[in-house]
Each structure stands twice: as structure tokens, then as C-alpha cells.
A = this chain, B = another copy of it.
């Protein structure tokens, strides 16, 4: 037995049974991982369900440095000018609804709003091309409503936004102060994928998915649950001026879901007597859905049929998801469309919804 460090105060020695060694950085552990784990390992941190390839278009990184989507003028050069885009609706990724502390989450949301107003919607918006989303932390509905009230008069904020990750379906009544504020100011409420099953949020599937591809494929499922909740809870009856936008949650699932919900309503309307019409009839007045990532079946005819089934002419609004990996180009995202349908999807529907 070694006698090093034997102090007279502890003549029998000390065994400490809980001491933590740290690698100097994550690369020290990466060196011991084989592929594909080496690339995927990020040293812990945010952890599960991050894109294993890369989350952004590599060509979207500005020449001056920074991540894709961080330089308004480069975005103009790369995205707005080549496609002749009139407005980009900006949805910052604050991820504030991950946090258990609603005050911290609300502070992050407020910081994102100040930043967006000062930069993209302020000094960088000399041509008025950028329209913004008011980020809110839905964990604290009263604080979220105050944040909406604060920014609603701003000329370039056109909607309120949250991520789809949640602890309760969005039709439930704890959220109503948010919807009341949206309706009061005529601002649509946009739901964007993200934080599902992360932080304090429930994973909306029968247990945790294993891979990013599984998690990401299933993002529309949570969207569908939120939409059914909005409708069956009667949110659109309670707040007749309340409107929502489903962003980046898939498109082609809409007909099947509405057919099912309409059939259920026929048998079970007893349970939701506040509804005054068939569930699917709420869509036209209260719901819009953005196109990216647009499903592309092998046969274009199947997509065109689906667009007709879902009333895309009224409900669908184009989105690219720039600068992300699964970007949809205005040029290639859709097959050839009838001119009127194309005009509505690419421009008219959003102009009407956002008052542009």
C-alpha cells in the first residue's frame, strides 16, 4: 500500500468514492469513437435528435463568416434576388420553450424579439423585404400575451410563433391568453417544428424515437395532434378572429386527417357541442399551412390530386426553409401547376393572410 499523501490528521487514509474526470474537450473522446459515432458526438450538450449530416445548406454560409442565414445581404444575393422574392417571413429559432424556468424562457423570447426588431426588421430592412415573427414562450401564457402586446404595433412583425414541442396540445385552455392577444391584434399564430421531445417537452409518439430520421419523419404527427386539439376544443369558436399557420410540418397528411375527424364528428359531436360546423370547415377561415418540405410522390399526378383534396388553392402558402438542409427551391419544389394555383400558393394566400 502506497503511503503518498498520508497526512497525520488521517492516519488510516481516505478513499473518495465519487470523483469526476473531464476530458479537456470533446475531441479527447471523439478520438476513441469510430465512425459514424465520431461525427455525431457533440460532447453531450443539447443531445438527441440533431441532424446527423448537417442542418444547413453548406452554400448558405456567408463569405464573411457565421452560420447560414446570419447575413441579410448575403441572403438577398443568394435567395431573394435570384428567385424574385417579395417578402421573406422570418422565423428565428430561439428554442426558448425547452426551458423549465418560464422566466428564463420569456427572457430569451424577448431578447430574440429585440434583436430581430433592431437588425433584420430594423437597420437591415431598408427595402422592407423582411417580415418577422414575435417569438413567445408558451410556458407562461400571460407573459407571452404581454410580449405580443408589446410588439403588435411594429410595422414588420406579421405573426406570433412558437415551436411545436409542448407539454399539452395547443387547443387546451391554459394557452388562451396567447390566442386572445393574437386575435386582438389580428396576428396569426405560427407553429414550427422543434423541441418536440426535448427539454421539458413531451415526445409526441409512443416513446422516444431512436434516430433523427425517425424523429424528423414523425414531426407532422405532433402537428396533427395540435390541429385536432385546436378544432375539437373549439378555439376557433371562442376566438373567431384567431388564425394559425402550420409551418414546416408537412402538407399531404391534411386530407386524411380531416376526413377522419369529420367522420368522428358525425358520431361524437355530442362531446363537442360548441362546434357549429364540420371540423374541416374551420380550415378555410382559421388555418394556413406552408409548403416546405413538400412531399413529392413518384407520380406528380398524385401530388396534384392531393393538393386538390386539401384545398391547397385556399390553404397552402409557399415556404423554402432557407437556409436549412431540406430547403425547397421555388423553382423545383412543385411540379408544373396551373397558373392560378401557383399564384395563390406562391403569393396571394400569404398576402391575404399576413395583410401584405
Contacts and interface: CB of A to CB of B under 8 A. Distances in A.
Interface of A: 36, 51-53, 164-172, 196, 201-202, 204-214, 216-218, 220-222, 224-226, 228-229, 232-233, 250-253, 255-257, 259-261, 263-265, 267-268, 270-272, 293, 295-297, 302, 305-306, 308-309, 325-326
A233 B214 CA distance: 9
Contacts of A268: 51-53, 211-213, 216
Q: Count identical subunits in the complex.
A: 2
A305 B220 CA distance: 22
A53 B211 contact: no
A279 to B, nearest CB: 9
B228 A224 contact: no
A201 B140 CA distance: 28
A252 B252 contact: no
Nearest to A209: B169
A57 to B, nearest CB: 12
A295 B221 contact: no
B52 A295 contact: no
Contacts of A325: 267
Contact of A256 (B250, B259, B270): B250
Contacts of A233: 210, 214
Contacts of A265: 213
Nearest to A229: B214
B224 A209 contact: no
Contacts of A263: 293, 295-296, 326
A224 B225 CA distance: 13
A264 B217 contact: yes
Contact of A214 (B164, B169, B253, B293): B169
A165 B206 contact: yes
A256 B295 contact: yes
